[in-house]
Amino acid sequence: MTEQQLLLQETVDNVFEELAANDRCLQSSCDFNSQWHTLQNLGIDNLFIPENKGGFSGSWEDARIIFYLSGRHGIALPICETIVAKKLLLDHNIPIPQGAITIGMSNPGCSISKDRRSGELLFSGGLSAVPWGSQSSTVLTFCDDKAGNKLILLKCKDGQLTGGRPNEAGEPRNNIEFEKARVLDSAALPEPFQHLMKMGALMRASQISGALDSALHLSIMHTKNRSQFGRPLAKFQAIQQQLAIFAEESAAVNCATRSAARSEDLGDSLFEIAATKLRANRSVGAATSIAHQVHGAIGFTREYDLHHFTQRLWSWRSEFGNDRFWSESLGKQVLAAKESGFWQFITARSDASTEQQE
């Protein structure tokens, strides 16, 4: 990492560590607003905003650091969604609103119409399982109807909460129904569904990487401190072997997310992000099983920290693309590269990434 990235990591790590205990106790919108105000004062959500406009002019590698730390500390705020949304709005010259911004995937059948009097665009349709939809100010989504493919920004309060339930970690996942809601702004975007899924997958995979590292750390410390049959659990070879497998899974996801972020900075990342999210999803099952096995009963108690990470891991692996979705995406790309040569396809991507580092 560069000196600037090390400084970013240290700063955000300290802030998230301070917020973590309070975030796990969030119960009201007042608490949410207070914690969100703390992050906004630090300016973390303006990572991609140019320096001359009060931001950091950051990169996706910088963003990966924040996503990772958010997962490692179990931050219960939509800071990652807001960073990604602001980047997409910035790239498409859409004015950035105040407050938390979430990302929602629209259901089939949505439509955009035009108000005859004002000429404003109106959106009708539903969004499912929107992260923090009940507490975010705006939501960035898409619509691909007969009017064309568009990235659109909506006010959450202009829609009606029609259900949804918290994820396994208790974080809001809301269904929002809009009926001729005013579109704050929009931009034409080819394949908006794939674009939002790709950015969301990079975000979630990086958070998974952080949560895996925390669960691994807790597991290692528990086996060092807990004794059975006269010696620490960490001295048993079977436990050591399981923790080694856990460490391999965690390291693999960490490396994959770094590569995916670097590729996104180069502007061609679909292959790397598909491989990364798939690898992260598959790591969750093995890693969480080992974590709870070595902890035993205490790992399932609400008072112990492990569930803050494992419950998020179980939720995140299905968000922004499950195993099947990214397996199909990866398979199609491999088949498409068959004629020109898959080995040349892989090495060319690797060479481009190496040149960027140099």
For 194-234, the pLDDT digits (tens) are: 999 999 999 999 999 999 999 999 999 999 998 888 899 98
What pLDDT is recorded for position 29?
53
First to last CA, the chain: 12
Q: pTM of this prediction?
A: 0.94
The DSSP code for 253 is H
CA nearest to 132, candidates 33, 234, 252? 33
| Tokens read off for 28 | 């009201």
What pLDDT is recorded for position 28?
46
CA distance 11 to 314: 28
What pLDDT is recorded for position 164?
86
What pLDDT is recorded for position 294?
95
Could you say which of 2.60.40.1930, 3.40.190.10, 3.40.50.720, 1.20.140.10 is the CATH number of the domain covering 193-357? 1.20.140.10
Spell out the domain ranges in the chain. 3-91, 101-188, 193-357
CA-CA-CA-CA torsion sign (133, 139, 145, 149): negative
What pLDDT is recorded for position 24?
57
CA distance 81 to 265: 18
CA nearest to 104, candidates 228, 219, 196? 196
CA nearest to 289, candidates 338, 245, 341? 245
In the predicted model, residues of the chain with pLDDT beneath 70 are 22-30, 147, 351-358
DSSP SS3 for 140:
strand
The DSSP code for 184 is S
What pLDDT is recorded for position 161?
94
The DSSP code for 48 is T
Residue pair 207/68 in contact (Cβ under 8 Å)? The answer is yes
What pLDDT is recorded for position 83?
97
* Helices within the chain (DSSP H only): 3-23, 29-42, 60-73, 79-91, 192-225, 237-266, 270-295, 306-316, 323-336, 342-357
CATH class, domain 101-188, is mainly beta
Q: What Å distances lie between residue 140 and 11, 82, 182, CA to CA? A: 28, 9, 13
CA-CA-CA-CA torsion sign (281, 283, 287, 289): positive
What pLDDT is recorded for position 78?
95
The DSSP code for 143 is E
Q: What Å distances lie between residue 25 and 70, 280, 329, CA to CA? A: 16, 27, 38
What pLDDT is recorded for position 351?
65
Q: CB neighbours of 174 closer than 8 A, spacing ≥ 6? A: 129, 130, 132, 133, 134, 161, 163, 164
| Tokens read off for 48 | 């991609």
CA nearest to 124, candidates 138, 136, 109? 109
What pLDDT is recorded for position 353?
64
